[in-house]
Structure 1
Amino acid sequence: MDLLYGGHIFESALFLFLLLLLLSFCAYCCYVKYIHIKYDHIPGPPRDSFLFGHIKSINKYLNGPGLSHDKLLEWAEQYGPIYRLNALHRVILYAISPEAVQKYMMSSEYPKDPYVYNLLFSLFGVRFMGKGLITDPDHTHWYKQRRIMDPAFGHSYLKEMMGIFNEKAEYLMQKLEENADGKTEVEMHAMINRVTLDVIAKVAFGMDLHLLDNKQSPFPHAISAVLKGMVPHVQNPYMQYMPQHRKFVKDVQESAKLLRRTGRECIERRKEAVRNGEDVPKDILTQILKSAEQEGGYDDEIMLDNFITFFIAGQETTANQISFTIMELTRQPEITAKLRDEIDDVVGSKRDVSFDDLGKLQYMTQVLKESLRLYPPAPGTARLLTHDDVIEGIRIPGGVALNFNTYIMGRMDKFFKAPLTFDPERFSPDAPKPNFCYFPFTLGPRTCLGQVFSQMEAKVVLAKLLQRFNFKLAPGQSFEIKDTGTLRPRDGVICTLTLLTNKTKES
């Protein structure tokens, strides 16, 4: 009898559980329907299904051989300037509108989308960017951090960086000369990535990594791993619990731990130097410590958040930009020749590029800007629409994120004539300026703190490369792009190089 009675209790409990599960599912479906009713007046492609929305289509392009941003561009052409995507109960809006860019990115009233940026607080359970300058959606807290960090990127300190820029770039030239026989294939992206990582480690944190010689260093792989982990983590943070992803997830976790462990050691060494009264450089690390002191009770983990933020953002996007530019110049002989003429006029045969030289390299500035238009390493950002509004004549209920994408806008004919043509003249001083449809470093209060630093470094490396070498893509190389958290050249820009002589310059 007791067993029978116990069986009835189990069956009743199971029935109630299944009933609650069914009722919860029905309630959730009703909520999804409510979201559809609320936002379905906004144009967008047909949903793949009622419940999952556009997830199937999004995943097809995120995980396929192409670039998901190209599909987003196609949808922008078809459904823009404001279009909608659905994923379960979430609505994703893309604003392909200069007016919207101006209104929402130029104002501090609209914070970064907490949903997306909070997902980058950690990677698969390991703290990653936390509440650093890129990911902190709280404007007040972010502003305190930014105000303290600004001096590390002031004019006088940037000028002092020129020696390190030249030193690291010159060593890259020496390494490339060893293989400049016109036959040996060199993976330019990997080489440049190591140089930009060397630079940020030295100028920001006083670390000497010597990555062009130290091939066994774990840092390049660690940064590559966490970047590769960002997109799938945002897509599906629960994949860490799936056995088939265990190896990938563990690699990402260990890489994040390595970077934070390195940061902790670096911060402790600098703290000790300050306690001992030693002279310390006015670099990013010093500013991080100063920030902690001024905040009072500043969480050590937030110091590490900013270490990770600068360590990654300070080198990855610059390396990608330089690599994309080299890739494009291999099929632009006239632009390359004009660049070389400017470098000859401004730098001449000098070994080092001076700070004053940088401002005179006007055509190089145009080339780098055009490269960012076609190949922006950081293609998009998002702002939270906190209240109901009207954009391009369409009523937008509040409480939804607006996604802005410079890759999409940079490749649309309505904003740039013949957008797939690489034309640096678009950015000449006399050309009409693109208004709020070009933002590779974002715009407004949250604009990238390190953009001047980045472009200075890019100019030094590119000037030395064009001063010394001819380069052409190796057979089988493409001009395709891949998304690994940032946009980078898919095939690594593998080139063969030859030394540039006066004769080859003239020809």
Structure 2
Amino acid sequence: MWLLLPILLYSAVFLSVRHIYSHWRRRGFPSEKAGITWSFLQKAYRREFRHVEAICEAYQSGKDRLLGIYCFFRPVLLVRNVELAQTILQQSNGHFNELKWDYVAGYSRFNLLEKLAPIFGTKRLSEMFGQVQKVGDHLIRHLLDRQVQGCPLEVDLQQKLRVYSVNIIANLIYGLDINNFEHEDHILTSYLSHGQASIQSFTLGRLSQKSSYTYRLRDLIKQSVELREDQGLIRKDILQLLVRFRNGNEVSGDKWQLEPVNEADKLLSIKRLAKVAEDLLKVSLDAVASTVTFTLLEILQEPLIVEKLRAEIKELSNENGQLKFEELNGLRYMDMCLKETLRKYPPLPIIERVCRKSYSLPNSKFTIDEGKTLMVPLLAMHRDEKYFSEPMKYKPLRFLQTANDVGQCEDKTKSNIFIGFGIGGSQCVGQNFAKLVIKVALIKLLQNFHLELDANQVKTLEVSHRPAPFIHTKDGLKVKLKRREINTKFYS
């Protein structure tokens, strides 16, 4: 009898696992050959806990538009065709929305990000531009103060840019007038090291994480909201517009002052508002810091690109060390460089969505079931030779605009392959804000410093994904900075 129990238990586990690993075959999808073997389980494990590289390998393993694969014990449908991915994510009528951005008001359910999109419109960003510049100046002053006269300063620029990104978030999303280059013990500075230690796992990534940081960040939001609602403080930042939304005020237009309502009528609780702010913190930190870091990594290996950028920047007004918001859209070569960085190092290398209800895939006989995962491998698509020639080369001119001023790739028939900050329902609503912050950092650095990479480091440099791209070496991105004779009076 006692011998029979472990046999029955083993049989039940074996049959259950075999049932999972036959999911796509039973439904007729093109799928990899799955089995309960040590080599297959290792591959499935890698996809779950070291997923970016493993998913790229799966993308390259065949030619079917769809491929059923397995991430440990999860069936995942890999979309390997860009046009199909765009159709699914843009026209799926809510089948693949992110649940964390769902919002219910009365009898209506809608996507909270779509409601907050006007916060990142041109009018609003132009009024926040002064604060963005102030944070950029903090970065430059910090670097200038550390430099000994006449001697190059060697720094981990990746880490400095992460602090710059946190300063942006602190000032505009959390409403704090703070410089984390000086306040190194601040909670948001501590968040940098805390955020780097995350496990790469789709499964664990969906579990709620209530760390001490979450509660401390919520306290920051509560204090800032009380200042604005109870004491009438007005500050032109993202938090001000989030508080307006909380009170049922319009976030588009040009009003910044609040029209408070009773607590029972507020659209967002402090807890939910803090969660929105923390989600924006996570997304913005990685997107901004990684894009600026990898743009510098690539352009500093190409002196001609640096000179072209400096020539373009030189045409800016730059009165008293201050940039003009309306001139930044004219930086066409810098825009091409940013697109090329986003192509080669997308901040979101994989789009993963869980199907909320059964969905018939367009132009096919297949249906993906509720609860199953759909995955779009952006990094693999952006590095596919059939879409971009010499994909591992940094070539900004592949995004040279055509005469009709429509941004296209080097092949007109493939003009929609570049995805950048996401696609469809996965597109980042704050991408214009991110681009603004990225441009300010690049302009300030190129204006004020000669930058030189450590040639030995470049040869051994390792890039990992967490999931955003990150230089995984002891020294990060080691760069030598030498002060240029421009704007020095302003920064003295």
TM-score (norm 2): 0.80
The reply on whether 1:179 has 2:159 as its aligned counterpart is: no
The reply on whether 1:332 has 2:263 as its aligned counterpart is: no
Query: For residue 299 of structure 2, what is the amino acid of its counterpart?
Result: L
Query: Does the 8 Å contact 1:473/1:495 carry over to 2?
Result: yes
Higher helix share: 1
1:365–1:307 Cα change, 3 Å = same
Q: Deviations over 1:114-171 (max 9, x none)?
A: 7xx7xxxxxxxxxxxxx3x3xx499997735235423422322200121112111122
Query: For residue 471 of structure 1, what is the amino acid of its counterpart?
Result: L
Query: Does the 8 Å contact 1:201/1:209 carry over to 2?
Result: yes
Q: Deviations over 1:348-407 (max 9, x none)?
A: 675122102201111101111111100112212123454464578674544432211221
Residue in structure 1 matched with residue 123 of structure 2 by the alignment: 156
Query: For residue 258 of structure 1, what is the amino acid of its counterpart?
Result: Y
Query: Does the 8 Å contact 2:97/2:353 carry over to 1?
Result: yes
Stretch of structure 1 that moved more, 259-268 or 464-473:
259-268
The reply on whether 1:25 has 2:8 as its aligned counterpart is: no
Deviation at residue 322 of structure 1 after TM alignment: 0.3
RMSD: 3.4
1:103–1:297 Cα change, 3 Å = closer
CA distance in 1, matches of 2:103, 2:72: 24
1:272–1:58 Cα change, 3 Å = same
Match of 1:214 among 173, 179, 183: 183
SS of 1:210 mapped into structure 2: coil
Q: Deviations over 1:423-466 (max 9, x none)?
A: 11122211644444222311224421210011011111101111
* Map 1:361-440 → 2, pairs under 5 A: 361-384=331-354, 386-387=357-358, 389=360, 395=366, 397-399=368-370, 400-430=372-402, 432-433=408-409, 434-440=414-420
Residue in structure 2 matched with residue 263 of structure 1 by the alignment: 218
Query: Does the 8 Å contact 2:48/2:201 carry over to 1?
Result: no
CA distance in 2, matches of 1:424, 1:326: 13
CA distance in 2, matches of 1:230, 1:299: 30
SS of 2:9 mapped into structure 1: helix
The reply on whether 1:304 has 2:278 as its aligned counterpart is: no
CA distance in 2, matches of 1:137, 1:54: 40
Residue in structure 1 matched with residue 323 of structure 2 by the alignment: 353
CA distance in 2, matches of 1:343, 1:350: 15
Q: Please list every run of 5 or more consecutive structure 1 residues that lacks an aligned counterpart in the other structure.
A: 1-11, 118-130, 239-251, 503-507
CA distance in 1, matches of 2:354, 2:16: 23
Query: For residue 222 of structure 2, what is the amino acid of its counterpart?
Result: I
The reply on whether 1:57 has 2:43 as its aligned counterpart is: yes
The reply on whether 1:273 has 2:225 as its aligned counterpart is: no
Query: Does the 8 Å contact 1:267/1:285 carry over to 2?
Result: no
Query: For residue 42 of structure 2, what is the amino acid of its counterpart?
Result: K
Match of 2:237 among 263, 275, 283: 283
Aligned residues: 452
CA distance in 1, matches of 2:422, 2:108: 19
Match of 1:204 among 149, 168, 173: 173
Query: For residue 323 of structure 1, what is the amino acid of its counterpart?
Result: T
Stretch of structure 1 that moved more, 33-42 or 385-394:
385-394
Query: For residue 499 of structure 1, what is the amino acid of its counterpart?
Result: R
Deviation at residue 271 of structure 1 after TM alignment: 2.8
SS of 2:351 mapped into structure 1: strand
Match of 2:93 among 86, 98, 109: 109
CA distance in 1, matches of 2:361, 2:224: 53
1:54–1:455 Cα change, 3 Å = farther
CA distance in 2, matches of 1:326, 1:379: 19
1:501–1:235 Cα change, 3 Å = same
Query: Does the 8 Å contact 2:29/2:68 carry over to 1?
Result: no
Residue in structure 1 matched with residue 66 of structure 2 by the alignment: 82
SS of 2:452 mapped into structure 1: strand
Deviation at residue 495 of structure 1 after TM alignment: 0.7
The reply on whether 1:480 has 2:462 as its aligned counterpart is: yes
CA distance in 2, matches of 1:306, 1:371: 27
1:141–1:107 Cα change, 3 Å = farther
Query: Does the 8 Å contact 2:47/2:55 carry over to 1?
Result: no
TM-score (norm 1): 0.78
1:218–1:142 Cα change, 3 Å = farther
1:189–1:137 Cα change, 3 Å = farther
Residue in structure 2 matched with residue 461 of structure 1 by the alignment: 441
Query: Does the 8 Å contact 1:150/1:449 carry over to 2?
Result: yes
